[in-house]
Amino acid sequence: MSAATATPPVGAASVPAVRRRPGIATVYRWELTKLRYQKRTYLGLGASVLVPIIFAVAIHFHHDRHRGDFAFSAYLSRSGLAMPLVILLFGAVWMFPLITALVAGDIFASEDHNGTLKTVLTRSLERHELFVGKALVASTYGIVAILLDGTVAVIAGSIQSGFNSLQSLSGTIVSAPKALELVYVSLLVYLIPIAAIVCIGLLLSALTRNSAAAVVGTLMISLLIQLIGILPGLQGAQPYLLSTQFNAWQGLLRTPIDWSPIIRAAWVCALYGLPSLIAAFLVFLRRDVAGG
């Protein structure tokens, strides 16, 4: 180690001047960069890509078995545009909550695991900037996973079953271009409960400081909420469960469009997400960085 080449310091007696500081955009950019280096990133995105492909292959070999068990299942072999919608239905159980939790549950806890929180918090970043940057990246990951899955499903479904018109839940026929538009709007509506899952993941990540606990915990909360919905005597709670909001997009596939489940999803998810987000923010802002 050569001391002679060390950077000359500022004069010892001088008070360091306040200089241009980084902000949320810097954190966002670098958190995205960090995701590129982590295996879990590709695990989630890989699942988003592979599941529609596996679906398409399964339909190709066993299309006779998919007949009207659930919404749009009867159309899987008639229109490729049914596939993203069917995957949205199935994915709500655990796949999309898990993919979302892979990053949201890890994003603060991994800093504790690596002991790097003290490293970044002794630079020129305020804690709230780091929090917001990380929260935005966790949300971005959820958005990318859903849109990627939907796009691959549209392509794979169209290759398998054709880019054909779709029958809506009201029985009307929707042209293929219009159906494509509705598929993408459905994906966007699907992001509402995904945002709530992100917030829960962030809270558990900040609270537990343990990546595995936060990821599994987020998934468990999602599954427990679904369980409440099927318990006898608790059907009245169904419209207010987070799991129910994963079906809000179905309102778009009715004629005329039924906005009520989408509006309800917005405020119900806010009730789940906002307190979690605020709690995560306060925990992160106030916590002592005694380990990491």
Helix spans in 209-257 (H): 211-230, 242-245
Residues 112 and 44: their CA atoms lie apart, in Å, by 22
Report yes or no: 257 and 249 within 8 Å, Cβ to Cβ: no
Q: How far is the CB of 22 from other proteins (least distance, A)?
A: 4
The residue within the footprint of other proteins, chosen from 32, 34, 143, 164 (CB under 8 A), is 34
What is the chain's alpha carbon radius of gyration, rounded to the nearest angstrom? Answer: 23
Residue 256 preceded by cis peptide, ω within 30:
yes
Which distant-in-sequence residues (6+ apart) come within 8 Å of 185 by Cβ? 249, 252
Asked if 38 is part of the footprint of other proteins (rule: CB under 8 A), the reply reads yes
Residues 3 and 230: their CA atoms lie apart, in Å, by 68
Stretch that binds other proteins, among 26-34, 52-60, 148-156, 256-264 (CB under 8 A): 26-34
What DSSP letter does each residue of 269-282 carry, written as one string?
A: HHHHHHHHHHHHHH
Q: How far is the CB of 113 from other proteins (least distance, A)?
A: 10
The residue within the footprint of other proteins, chosen from 65, 119, 255, 278 (CB under 8 A), is 119
Stretch that binds other proteins, among 13-21, 80-88, 189-197, 257-265 (CB under 8 A): 13-21
Asked if 123 is part of the footprint of other proteins (rule: CB under 8 A), the reply reads yes
Stretch that binds other proteins, among 11-19, 66-74, 233-241, 266-274 (CB under 8 A): 11-19
Stretch that binds other proteins, among 9-17, 76-84, 91-99, 209-217 (CB under 8 A): 9-17
Q: Which two tokens stand for residue 120?
A: 């970044």
Asked if 124 is part of the footprint of other proteins (rule: CB under 8 A), the reply reads yes
Whose Cβ is closer to other proteins: residue 1's or residue 231's? 1
Report yes or no: 183 and 81 within 8 Å, Cβ to Cβ: yes
Asked if 213 is part of the footprint of other proteins (rule: CB under 8 A), the reply reads no
Which distant-in-sequence residues (6+ apart) come within 8 Å of 217 by Cβ? 105, 204, 208
Stretch that binds other proteins, among 123-131, 200-208, 236-244, 260-268 (CB under 8 A): 123-131
The residue within the footprint of other proteins, chosen from 42, 60, 70, 115 (CB under 8 A), is 115
- Name the site residues for other proteins (rule: CB under 8 A): 1-22, 26-27, 29-30, 33-34, 37-38, 114-116, 118-126, 286, 288-290, 292
